[in-house]
């Protein structure tokens, strides 16, 4: 969500919400520094310029070395991005996959409350729309 918008600091913090054990203190400071180094110049690059698979592997490595422990639920997300990277690289290598997902992530965020957005004002409406199959917030 945040990465697609180029909001790196928020993206790195959101990653920590997926960890069962997020880093604190100096470990967190090192995590943030290394993430900024890894993602410097990443936003706006096509899949042929930067491999999302390698980027995700670096990201997970940085988080684990900082002390993060992830439950099994985090890995399908990572695996899905890696599969998508391969498909897009094969079929449409000049696309900026992360940025192009932005509008779809915005729509998803308007339907389902994301744990790191801090906006719970529309939770009841969002939940009802999701479970009733009314997935367009304008309906």
- Model confidence at 115, pLDDT cuts 50, 70, 90, reads low
72 and 28 in a common domain: yes
105 and 90 in a common domain: no
Q: For 123-134, how does the pLDDT look when each residue is reduced to its tens digit (9 = 90+)? A: 344 444 444 544
Cβ atoms of 68 and 22 within 8 Å: the answer is yes
Range among 2-6, 61-65, 97-101 with highest mean pLDDT value: 61-65
Q: Residue 101 CB: number of other CB atoms within 10 A?
A: 16
Q: What mean pLDDT, rounded, does the chain reach?
A: 80
**Residue in the structure block whose two tokens are 């180094």:** 37
Number of domains in the chain: 2
Tell me which residue of 77, 38, 80, 29 sits closest to 61, measured CA to CA.
Answer: 38
Note down the domain range covering 88. Answer: 2-94
Q: What does the alpha-carbon distance between residue 114 and residue 56 come to, in Å, rounded to a whole number?
A: 21
**CB-facing half-sphere around the CA of 21: CA atoms within 13 A:** 7
Q: For 18-75, how does the pLDDT look when each residue is reduced to its tens digit (9 = 90+)? A: 888 899 999 999 999 999 999 998 888 998 998 888 898 999 999 999 999 888 887 8
114 and 57 in a common domain: no
């Amino acid at each position: 969500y945040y990465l697609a918008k180029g909001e790196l600091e928020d993206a790195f913090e959101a990653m920590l919400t997926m960890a069962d054990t997020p880093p604190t203190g100096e470990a967190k400071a090192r995590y943030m520094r290394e993430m900024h180094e890894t993602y410097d110049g990443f936003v706006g690059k096509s899949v042929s310029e930067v491999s999302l698979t390698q980027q995700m592997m670096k990201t997970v490595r940085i988080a684990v070395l900082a002390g993060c422990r992830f439950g099994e639920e985090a890995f399908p997300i990572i695996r899905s991005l890696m599969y998508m990277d391969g498909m897009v690289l094969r079929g449409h290598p000049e696309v900026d996959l992360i940025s192009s997902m932005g509008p779809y992530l915005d729509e998803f965020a308007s339907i389902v409350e994301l744990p790191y957005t801090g906006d719970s004002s529309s939770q009841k409406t969002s939940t009802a729309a999701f479970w009733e199959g009314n997935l367009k917030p304008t309906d």
